[in-house]
């Protein structure tokens, strides 16, 4: 009887202790990183004609310790009618300006540029054949998302806590045409975007002859 009573007490206690330890590791000793909620396109006035003009997102380390051995993966996700293999979506691995970082210090940030131009043309043709419209040669990500309003970009960030070794995955919001903004991120760890001022000439429209 004493053995049964001891078992009835020790088993729930062990389960509870394990749960508390798991919660403590995942909540307190795991990295704390955050993604921006908007995909930013540099304004026309700041473009340089280089790779730095590519759309970008921002990630910041909000934790108390450094994150180490970070890996970044990005996917371009294009929904469509169910194809011949029964899939309702085509996924393209999207190259990024950052694929691996040895360390992201606490209170620091990193911009991640998304490089659709580096995707093989065969991959874009494969998706174009399914959705019924091939992207134009040299098409950038901003143009692609505008032409395909249902398409989105999703990023996955894997990171370890430098102290505990706990690993965690951080999934970004799905970035598409609705949350694509022209402007720039505020300095520092802020995830706020300052939108570029509207072009008054574009807002007014073309001049009418005789005005």
Let me know whether 159 and 135 are in one domain. yes
For residue 5, the number of C-alpha atoms closer than 13 Å in the C-beta half-sphere is 2
Within its chain, how far is the Cα of 97 from the centroid?
Answer: 12
Contact (Cβ atoms closer than 8 angstroms) between residue 66 and residue 29? no
Let me know whether 79 and 143 are in one domain. yes
Quick one: pLDDT at residue 13? 64
Let me know whether 109 and 145 are in one domain. yes
The pTM of this model reads 0.80
In angstroms, rounded to a whole number, what is the distance separating the alpha carbons of residues 98 and 90?
Answer: 23
Q: Is residue 209 included in any domain, yes or no?
A: no
Quick one: pLDDT at residue 202? 47
Please tell me which residue, 21 or 133, carries the higher pLDDT value.
Answer: 133
Band of residue 17 on the pLDDT scale cut at 50, 70, 90? low
Let me know whether 5 and 61 are in one domain. no
In angstroms, rounded to a whole number, what is the distance separating the alpha carbons of residues 4 and 10?
Answer: 10
Alpha helices in 29-81 (DSSP H): none
Q: Is residue 108 included in any domain, yes or no?
A: yes
Per-residue pLDDT at 210 exceeds 50: no
Per-residue pLDDT at 151 exceeds 80: yes
How many domains would you assign to the chain?
2
Band of residue 16 on the pLDDT scale cut at 50, 70, 90? low
Q: Is residue 51 included in any domain, yes or no?
A: yes
Looking up residue 48, the CATH number of its domain turns out to be 2.60.40.1400
């Amino acid at each position: 009887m004493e053995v049964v009573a001891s078992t009835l007490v020790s088993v729930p206690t062990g389960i509870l202790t394990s749960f508390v330890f798991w919660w403590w590791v995942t909540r307190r000793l795991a990295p704390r990183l955050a993604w921006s909620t908007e995909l930013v396109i540099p304004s026309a006035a700041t473009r340089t004609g280089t790779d730095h003009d590519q759309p970008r997102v921002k990630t910041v380390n909000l934790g108390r310790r450094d994150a180490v051995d970070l890996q970044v993966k990005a996917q371009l996700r294009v929904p469509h009618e169910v194809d011949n293999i029964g899939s309702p979506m085509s996924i393209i691995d999207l190259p990024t300006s950052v694929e691996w970082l040895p360390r992201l210090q606490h209170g620091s940030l990193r911009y991640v540029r998304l490089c659709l131009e580096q995707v093989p043309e065969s991959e874009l043709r494969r998706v174009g054949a399914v959705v019924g419209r091939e992207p134009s040669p040299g098409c950038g990500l901003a143009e692609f998302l505008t032409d395909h309003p249902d398409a989105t970009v999703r990023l996955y960030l894997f990171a370890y806590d430098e102290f505990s070794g706990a690993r965690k995955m951080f999934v970004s919001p799905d970035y598409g045409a609705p949350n694509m903004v022209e402007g720039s991120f505020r300095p520092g760890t802020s995830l706020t975007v300052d939108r570029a001022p509207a072009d008054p000439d574009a807002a007014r429209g073309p001049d009418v002859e005789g005005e």
